[in-house]
Amino acid sequence: MQSNFSPGIDRDQIYTSAEIASTLKVHPMTVHRWLKDGDLAGFKIGRFWRVTGWDLLSFIEAQTARARGG
């Protein structure tokens, strides 16, 4: 899957939920809900969520397609 939208997101980077919230301009609890519900793929290190750039871009693409009715 090739992304045309990449707001400074590096596919090879690992992001915290706080970094994702800041990038997407949403509340950190929104990111936690996406992760908990499985909408955004991630993994835990101890108590803290992490998300790969690949998974974050896939999530953004899926949300964009959904918003466009696709």
pLDDT in tens, 9-40: 999 999 999 999 999 999 999 999 999 999 99
Q: Which CATH class, in words, describes the domain spanning 14-67? A: mainly alpha
- Dist. CA 35–CA 69, nearest whole Å: 23
59 in Cβ contact with 66 (< 8 Å): no
pTM of the model: 0.84
- Tell me: the pLDDT tens digits for 38-60? 999 999 999 999 999 999 999 99
How is the chain split into domains, by residue range?
14-67
- Provide the residue type at 45 as one letter: I
From the number of C-beta atoms within 10 Å of its C-beta (0-12, 13-18, 19+), residue 16 rates as: middle
